[in-house]
Amino acid sequence: MNSMNLILCAVAATALDLCTLILIITAYREKRSATKNWDWVANSMELAEQGMTYDLGCDEILIGRHASADIRLPDLSVSRYHAMLTVSNGRWTITDIGSKSGVFVNGNLVHEAVLHENDIIKLGNRRLVFRKRRDERVR
Amino acid sequence: MYANPVAYIFSCIFVLLAHSSMLVNIYFNGNYTDIKEVIVLGTAVLILDIVYFVVMLFFKQISYAVDFLLILILNMSVIFQSCFGGVGFNLKHYITCIAALVACKAGFLFCRNHKWIQEQKKLIYAAIGCLMVIILLFTGSRSMWINFSSFSIQPSEFIKPLFVLACATSVMDQQRRHKILFVNVVYENIALLGLTGAIVLLQWWCRDLGSLPTFMGIYACGFLLRICYPKAKFSKKKLIFAGALLLVVAVIGIRFAPEYVQHRLHVDIWNDKNGDGWQQAQALIGIANGGWFGVGPGKGYLHNIFAYDCDIVFSTICEEWGLLYGLMMVCVILIMIAIPLINPPRSYFHGTMSAGVCAAFVVQMALNIFGSCNLIPFTGVTIPFISTGGSSMVVSGLMIGMLMACQSPVFKEPKNKKKLKPVPAWRWTE
Amino acid sequence: MKSIRRCQHIISFIIVMFIIGMAVLVLKIQREAPFYMMNSDHHELGFVYDRKGDVLFDGTGENQYPDNYFIDIGNIIGDDSGQMNNTLVAQNIEKLNNYSFSGGLTSNGRASIYTTMDHEANRAVYNAFGYQEGCVVAYNYATGDILVSTSLPSIDVTKGYDAIDSFKPGTLMSKTLYKTIPGSTQKVSTVISALEIMGAEKLFSKSFTCTGQYINRTGLNIDCHNIYGHGTLNIQQAVENSCNPFFAQLIEDDDLPLDRLIEQYRKLGYAVNGDEDKYFDIDGIQCERASTNLTDKYEFTTQWGCIGQGDTIVSPMQLMMWQSAIANGTGRMTMPHLIDHCVNVNGTVTDTAKVEYSEQLFSPDTAATMKQILLTNGANHYAYSISGYNVGVKSGTAQVDEGANENSLLVGFVDDPAFPVAFCILIEKKNEGFLTTEQIAQVLLDNLRADF
C-alpha cells in the first residue's frame, strides 16, 4: 500500500464524509421549510386551556385520559379515548370516538364538527379553546 | 427546494465532488486496461447525477435530502459494481439504477396522500394475494424466480413494499373496534395477522428463508406500533409477553428447522473451507486483505467467488475500497433511513410506513453483512441499492419513494369519502 | 406528538441495534484479521531464528543455505507446506506472517520468531548419531528454554517433498513428542511414588533379594537382566543396578497400596486405566502425555508397567520434564517452551517467554531424596562416560517390536546452578550400531556448555 494510493483513498473518504455532512445539514435546513409547510396545512392553530397550551403537530390527534394520548387530560370525566382531531384540506375537524360524556363545541353536543377559530370545546369537565398560535415561530 | 436554493447548490456540488473523487481514485489507483473504460464510467455517472438534479426539481417537494442521498448511494453503487475485478462500465446495473430512480418517484407520487392509500387498503391486500398466487403458479418448482428469456424477476420482492403499506396504520383505523365474544378487536389487525401468516407459509414453501426475517421485522414494527397505541397502560406487559413468545417461537423454529437450515447454523467455516463455509471464509479473507483503505479499485480477487456482487458484496467493496469506505457506505444508507428522525412525519400513517421501511432496510443489511462475515448464518439476501438484482433495486427504490412521501405529505381528503353513521353518545362503550 | 415520537423511537432503536452489531463486527474483524490471512493462499512469511540469530526457517524462500542446513531441526521447526502439522512454523504461522490490518500484507516486514534452540549444539548431536536413529531433547530447567530437540530420521524442508514415498518412517515427526516404551527410566516414577507414599526412611529400610528372577504372587516370572542376580539390595542399589525383581517385590509390598500408587501416577501426569488422553502444549506443538494400565499389583503387566515395559508409554519430552521437577528441588516441573520472543511486522517485540511451573507433582523432600539417588548413580557409574559434569541419571533399555529390537534411553540432569540442563536421549535399535547414550550425552553437554 504505497503512500500515493493511501492519499487517494483518504481523499475519496474525506469527500464522501463532507458530502454526507452537507446533506445532513441540508436535511436540518429543510426541517424549517417542512415546519412552515405544516403551519400552512394546520393553519397555525393550537388548543389552549387554563395555563396550558397544546401544539397540534400531526394530522390525527387523540384526546383522552389514557397515558399515550397525544393530548392527555387526566380528568375522570374525560374518557380514555374521548375525541380525535383531524385536519384535511386545511380544516380541523373534531370527532367523538366513543366517549361517555360527549363532545360539546360552543355548547352543542356534536359527533363530528368542523372547527373555526376561537371555538370552545368541552370534554367532560375540561374546556379547551381552539385558537391561533400565539408565540412567533423562530425563523 | 425553492425555499433553500443555497442548500440545493451546495448539495449538488458536494455530491458531484464525492463521485468525482471516487473517479479520480479509480483513474490513478484502479486496475484498467483502457482509459476509455474510466471515461465512459465517469461520464455516465456524472451525467446521471446532473440529469437527476434537474429532474427532481420538477417534483414539488418540501425536502430533497433523501433525493440527494439516494443519487449519492446509487452512483456509488454503479461505480463499485463497475470496478469489481477490473474497471468496466456495468450497463445492466446502470439501467437498474435508473429503474430504481423511476420507481422511487413513482412510490413518492403514490404515497403522498395517506388518506387515499387508506381508502385503497383492500386493494393492497388483493394485490398481495395476486402476487402470492403468481408465485405459487409461475415460479419453477419451489424457487423464487420467474425467468423470462433475458432476465428474471423475483415476485416476492414486490410483496415487500405492499406489505409495508399493509402494516402502516392510522390512529383512526385503530379506533374502529368491534366486540367479538367479550374481546374488543380491530378487524384490520386480524386481517394483517392472517396476511403475515400466509406470507410466512409462502416463503417457507419457496424455501426463501432469507426474506422471512425481513417480513417478520416489518410485521414486528407494525405490531409494536399498533399495540402500543390504544392501550398504553398494558403495553409494557404486552411487550414482555410478545418478547417471550418470540423467543419460544425462535427456539422451536431452530429445533425443528429443516436439514439444510440446521446445516447452515452449525457450519464452522474455517474447518469446512471447501464446503459450505467457502464464501464466508473468502469474504473474511478479502476484508482482511483490504485493510482500512483497500487494495485498489479493480485489484481485488473476490470477484472470482460466486455471488460476489450480491451476497458477499460488502466484502468485495471492503477488499477493493477499504473497510472505512464500506462502513461509510452503510452510514449513508442509515442516514437516508434516519431522515424521519430529523424531520418527523406529520401523520401516524406515514410514521408507521417509515418505521416499516427502516425495518426492511436494516434487517436486509444486517442479514447480508453479518451473514457474509459469519456473525449469523449465511442467507442469500441483498443489500438495498448496492447489490445487483433488478427486482431488489426497483423495490428498494419504491420504498425510498415512500420515505420521500413521508417528508412531503399532502393532506387532502378524497372527495368521495364515506361518512360514518352518527351514533348517539350513550350507546358507545369504553 | 407522542404518536409520532413512538415511530421515531422504533426507528432509533432499530438503527442503534444495527450500529451495535456493526461495531461488534468491526472489532471482530480487527482482532481476527491475522487469523483470516493465515487461511488465505497468500503469505509473506518471515524468519525463525535460534537463540544466537542463526536461521532455522526462511519464509521468503529466496536465500541460499548450505546443503542440509536445516536437516537437524526439520521435524520440530517444520515449514508452511502443510506436510508437518505438529511443528513450530505450522502452529505459529500467524506470528510469522508479515501482515497487519492497517498496513496490509508486506513483503519486507520484520515478522520473525526467535526460538530458544541452540542450532550449533543441535547439529552436533544430530551428527553424533551417524546412521542410527532416535531422538534427543534437552532444556534449561531453570528457565524452560528448549535448547536441543532433534529426531532422526529427519528432513531438510528446503529440499521439498517430492521423494516423500521413499522417506523412512518417522521422518516427518519429532519423536521427542510421542510416547515410547521407557524401559528402566520408568523406575524413576516408581521410586518417586514410593517416596511420596511411604516416606524416605521406610523406603530406605526396605531390602529385597534378587536371584536373577522373581516369581510373583500370580506365579509369573519377572526376569532380571543379570541372570545371576544382584543379591540383597536396598533402594539405592536397586536403582543403580536397575534390578527388576527388587522393584517387583517393592510393588507387591503392603506399604505401597495400589490405589495410592495410581493416585500418585495420576499426579505425575499419567493417564491411568483408560483416563482421557491429554497433551502438553509447547507453543502450539502438542506433546503426548504418558499413559499406563495398573490393575492388580500382584499381576505381571502391572508390575512390568511400573518397571518399564507392560502398557506404560511416555514421551522423551515428559521424561525430561520430570527430571526438572527433581533437579530444581521443588517437585514442580519447569514447563518447556520453544519461543523466546516474537517480533511483529513493524518490528515490535511481542510474546516474550516467561518461566512457568506445573502443579505440585511430589513434595520437595521427595525431590531432594530422588535427586540424591540419581546423583549417586551418576557419580558411581557415569563419572567416566559423561566426564566433566555432576550429573544425576537413569538409564533404560526398552524391548520394542515385540522383543525384536531394543531401544536405549538415558534421562538425567546436570546439578550445577550455572549449567541447569535436563535431558532425555533415545537411541533406537541400539544393537544395530555401537553408539551409546553416554556418548551422545557427552557431545550434548560439551556443546551446550560452550554457550552458557
Residue C237 pLDDT exceeds 80: yes
Question: C329-357 burial by CB neighbour count: b if 16+ within 10 A, else e?
Answer: ebbbbbbbbbbbebbbbeeeeebebeeee
pLDDT tens per residue, range C71-126: 999 989 998 888 899 999 999 988 998 888 887 888 888 899 999 999 999 999 99
- CA of C211: how far to CAs of C187, C230, C232, in Å? 19, 6, 9
Chains that touch C (3 or more CB pairs under 8 A): A, B
Q: Which residues of chain B have pLDDT under 50?
A: 232, 423-430
8 A C-beta contact, residue C393 and residue C374: yes
* pLDDT tens per residue, range C52-73: 999 999 988 888 899 889 999 9
Query: Which of the two residues, A88 and B359, has the higher pLDDT score?
Result: B359
Does residue C46 contact residue C89 with C-beta atoms inside 8 Å? no
Q: Chains with ≥3 Cβ pairs under 8 A against A? A: B, C
Residue from C10, C30, C41 to probe the interface with B (highest B Cβ count within 10 Å): C10
Q: Write down the pTM of the prediction.
A: 0.83
Can you list the positions of beta strands (E) in chain A? 45-49, 52-55, 60-64, 71-72, 83-88, 91-96, 103-105, 108-110, 112-114, 119-123, 126-132
> Model confidence at C186, in pLDDT bands (50, 70, 90)?
very high
B19-50 pLDDT tens trace: 999 999 999 888 888 889 899 999 999 999 99
Residue of B22, B228, B430 lying closest to A80 (CB–CB): B430
- Residue of chain C nearest A68, judged by CA positions: C2
Cell of A111: 359527533
Provide the pLDDT for residue B47.
Answer: 95
The two beta strands, C291-292 and C271-272, are parallel
- What does each C-alpha distance from A120 to A70, A86, A132 come to in angstroms? 19, 16, 13
How many CA atoms lie within 13 Å of C3's alpha carbon, on the beta-carbon side? 32
List, for residues C381-435, the tens digit of each pLDDT value: 998 888 899 999 999 999 988 889 999 999 999 999 999 999 999 999 999 999 9
B373/C28 touch (CB, cutoff 8 Å), yes or no? yes
For residue A65, what is its C-alpha cell?
A: 385520559
Distance from CA of B349 to the nearest CA of C (A): 9
Q: Read off the pLDDT of each residue in A88-113 and give the average, rounded to a whole number.
A: 87
Closest-approach residue (CA) in chain A for B232: A68
Q: Does A39 score more than 90 pLDDT? A: no
DSSP assignments along B86-136, one per residue: S----HHHHHHHHHHHHHHHHHHHHHS-HHHHHHTHHHHHHHHHHHHHHHH
Q: Which residues of B touch C28 (CB under 8 A)?
A: 373, 375
Query: What's the rounded Cα separation, in Å, for the pair A94 and A87?
Result: 9
Q: Compute, in degrees rounded to 10, the torsion defined by CA atoms C200, C204, C209, C212.
A: 60
Segment A2-13 shows an average pLDDT of 85
Q: How far is A52 from chain B (nearest CA, A)?
A: 22
Rounded CA-CA distance B344/B353 in Å is: 12
> Exposed, middle or buried, C315 (CB in 10 Å: 0-12/13-18/19+)?
buried
A89 and chain B in contact, CB less than 8 A: yes
DSSP string, C18-85: HHHHHHHHHHHHHHHHHHHHHTSS---B-EEE-TTS-EEEETT--S---TTTTTTTHHHH--SSSS-S
Q: Between chains, do B115 and A88 touch, taking CB under 8 Å as contact?
A: yes
**CB contacts, 8 Å: B230 with chain C:** none
Q: Is A62 on the interface with C (CB under 8 A)?
A: yes
Q: Do A1 and C104 touch (CB under 8 A)?
A: yes
Residue B215, pLDDT score: 92
Q: What is the pLDDT of residue B150?
A: 65
What's chain C's average pLDDT?
Answer: 91
Handedness of CA C339, C345, C348, C350 (dihedral sign): negative
From A1, A55, A58, residue closest to C103, measured CB to CB: A1
B87, amino acid identity: V
User: Comparing C-alpha atoms, which of B310, B381, B362 is closest to residue B81?
Assistant: B310
Residues C249/C217, Cβ–Cβ less than 8 Å: no
Minimal Cα distance from C37: which residue of B? Answer: B285
Domains of chain C: 177-332+358-451 (3.40.710.10)
Quote the CA–CA distance of C381 and C231 in Å, as a whole number. 19
pLDDT band at C34 (very low <50, low <70, confident <90, very high): confident
Question: Other C-beta atoms within 10 Å of C150: how many?
Answer: 30
Q: How many CB pairs under 8 A join A and B?
A: 183
Q: Which B residues 146-185 touch C at CB under 8 Å? A: 171
pLDDT at res. C27: 94
The complex's ipTM works out to: 0.90
Provide mean pLDDT across the span C433-452: 91
Are the CB atoms for C386 and C438 separated by under 8 Å? yes
pLDDT tens digits, residue range C140-183? 999 999 999 999 999 998 888 888 888 888 899 999 999 999 99
Write the pLDDT tens digit of every residue in C116-147: 999 999 999 999 999 999 999 999 999 999 99
Q: What is the mean pLDDT of residues A85-92?
A: 84
Q: In this predicted model, which residue has the larger pLDDT, C304 or A139?
A: C304
The DSSP line for C279-305 is EEEETTEEEEPPEE----TTSHHHHHH
